[in-house]
Amino acid sequence: MKHARIAYSGAIKHATSHNGQLLLDDGRLISQESVIWLPPVTPAIILALGLNYTSHAKELSFQPPKEPLAFSKTPGSLIGHLGQTRRPAGVTHMHYECELAVVIGKTARSVPRQRAHDFIAGYTIANDYAIRDYLENYYRPNLRVKSRDHATPIGPFLVDAADIPDPMNLRLTTTVNGKLTQQGNTKDMVFDIPFLIEHFTSFMTLQPGDLILTGTPEGLVNVNPGDEVITEIESIGRLINTIVEDWT
């Protein structure tokens, strides 16, 4: 099942996908065009991976890491489907990152990899924009690179884990203004999802709704105001986002 959080008729509501429409908890069917899309989850913790695809590490002339290169992000960085992301004035390189996002389903502490899937509620799509101009160290991206307000579109739906039998074999693509610019497959991750859950929960507790953004493959292209960026993951959906100018 596909779950959404939306703003509709002056209130925040939960809905599920139903034949191209949205089914509200009260039984009403409404069009997807009549809502404002919100992030499908409200995490307290957002963990993100750097250089977690061999192709992306090669693209940047790095060796794949020996252990996960992780950093945290703020919930304020998230924005929903069809949202707008601002390109800071004066920067020279801002790029998208299509990522499979893992949503934790229950309190997870010291989880062995063989039980990792028992702690996953489902999956969604994240587009983790980065501002290269502010990047001082690929291994430790600073706050201005990865935690800017509304710089991480996510959604549209949270897809139940039961509906994604093999999350480690999903095709990812990105198009900019209709042109294919990025493609890859989750099977090329350096560290797979069970490993990541075991690793993180060995030293911290994750709660329902927390997110793990699992990295992006090669094919990163600079984007500018007016560009429409669509990140898509097989069996999960299409996340649409528009780049706009910064505040003046």
Tokens 């989850």, located at residue:
41
- pLDDT tens digits, one per residue of 15-46: 999 999 999 999 999 999 999 999 999 999 99
Q: What mean pLDDT do residues 137-153 have?
A: 76
User: Considering only CA atoms, which of 174, 175, 195, 188 is closest in space to residue 58?
Assistant: 188
Q: What is the pLDDT of residue 136?
A: 66
The whole-number average pLDDT for the span 4-17 is: 97
Q: Which residues of 17-35 are buried (b: 16+ CB within 10 A; e: fewer)?
A: beeebbbbeeeeebebeeb
Beta bridge partners of 101: 124, 213
pLDDT at 165: 94
Q: What is the CATH number of the domain that holds 26?
A: 2.30.30.370
Judgement on whether residues 33 and 128 belong to the same structural domain of the protein: no
Same-domain check for residues 56 and 106: yes
- Number of residues in the chain: 248
167: Cα separation from own chain's centroid = 14
Pair 230, 111 in one domain:
yes
* pTM to 2 decimal places: 0.94
If asked whether residues 116 and 11 sit together in one domain, one would say: no
State whether 24 and 65 are in the same domain: no
- Report the domain count for the chain: 2
pLDDT at 141 over 80: no
Domain that holds residue 99: 39-245
| Whole-angstrom distance, CA of residue 104 vs CA of residue 34 | 29
Cβ-based neighbour number of residue 179 at 10 Å: 8
Work out the mean pLDDT of the chain and round it to a whole number.
Answer: 93
Regarding whether 127 and 9 lie in a shared domain, the answer is no
Same domain for 118 and 207, yes or no, is yes
Same domain, 121 and 66: yes
What is residue 203's predicted lDDT score, i.e. its pLDDT? 97
- At residue 59 the predicted structure's pLDDT band, cuts being 50, 70 and 90, is low
Distance CA 59, CA 210 (A): 29
Instruction: Check whether residue 6 and residue 94 sit in a common domain.
Output: no
- Percent of the residues in the chain that have a pLDDT greater than 70, as a whole number: 93
Query: Domain check: are 110 and 122 in the same one?
Result: yes
